[in-house]
Amino acid sequence: MPIVEIRILEGRSDADKEALIQNVTLAVGESLNVPVERVRVLIQELPHKHWAVGGHTMDKLRR
Protein backbone atom coordinates (compact mmCIF):
# COMPACT_ATOMS: atom_id res chain seq x y z
CA MET A 1 0.00 0.00 0.00
CA PRO A 2 1.72 3.21 -1.15
CA ILE A 3 1.51 6.14 1.26
CA VAL A 4 2.24 9.63 -0.06
CA GLU A 5 2.88 12.48 2.37
CA ILE A 6 2.56 16.03 1.06
CA ARG A 7 3.42 19.17 2.99
CA ILE A 8 1.97 22.45 1.76
CA LEU A 9 1.50 25.94 3.11
CA GLU A 10 -1.94 26.50 4.57
CA GLY A 11 -4.45 28.58 2.68
CA ARG A 12 -5.40 26.50 -0.33
CA SER A 13 -9.06 25.75 -0.94
CA ASP A 14 -10.65 22.40 -0.16
CA ALA A 15 -11.32 22.00 -3.90
CA ASP A 16 -7.62 22.47 -4.70
CA LYS A 17 -6.61 19.91 -2.08
CA GLU A 18 -9.21 17.45 -3.35
CA ALA A 19 -7.86 17.85 -6.90
CA LEU A 20 -4.32 17.28 -5.60
CA ILE A 21 -5.39 14.11 -3.79
CA GLN A 22 -7.15 12.77 -6.88
CA ASN A 23 -4.26 13.56 -9.24
CA VAL A 24 -1.60 12.13 -6.94
CA THR A 25 -3.67 9.01 -6.31
CA LEU A 26 -4.04 8.36 -10.03
CA ALA A 27 -0.37 9.05 -10.75
CA VAL A 28 0.85 6.72 -8.00
CA GLY A 29 -1.62 3.99 -8.96
CA GLU A 30 -0.53 4.11 -12.60
CA SER A 31 3.19 4.45 -11.82
CA LEU A 32 3.27 1.55 -9.38
CA ASN A 33 0.57 -0.52 -11.08
CA VAL A 34 -1.59 -0.71 -7.95
CA PRO A 35 -5.32 -0.17 -7.56
CA VAL A 36 -6.14 3.41 -6.54
CA GLU A 37 -8.07 1.99 -3.57
CA ARG A 38 -4.70 0.96 -2.11
CA VAL A 39 -3.13 4.44 -2.38
CA ARG A 40 -3.10 6.66 0.70
CA VAL A 41 -2.48 10.41 0.48
CA LEU A 42 -1.77 12.50 3.57
CA ILE A 43 -1.71 16.29 3.39
CA GLN A 44 -0.09 18.28 6.15
CA GLU A 45 -0.74 22.02 6.06
CA LEU A 46 1.85 24.22 7.68
CA PRO A 47 1.38 27.80 8.83
CA HIS A 48 3.46 30.38 6.99
CA LYS A 49 5.41 31.08 10.19
CA HIS A 50 6.57 27.43 10.30
CA TRP A 51 7.97 27.38 6.73
CA ALA A 52 11.24 29.16 5.99
CA VAL A 53 13.30 29.85 2.90
CA GLY A 54 16.81 31.22 3.18
CA GLY A 55 16.43 31.73 6.92
CA HIS A 56 13.24 33.78 6.61
CA THR A 57 9.76 32.55 7.37
CA MET A 58 7.20 32.70 4.61
CA ASP A 59 5.16 34.89 6.95
CA LYS A 60 7.89 37.56 6.81
CA LEU A 61 8.61 37.04 3.11
CA ARG A 62 4.94 37.64 2.23
CA ARG A 63 4.98 41.11 3.82
Catalytic residues, by residue number, are: 2
Burial of 21 (0-12, 13-18, 19+ CB in 10 A): middle
- Give CA–CA dist 62/33, Å, rounded: 41
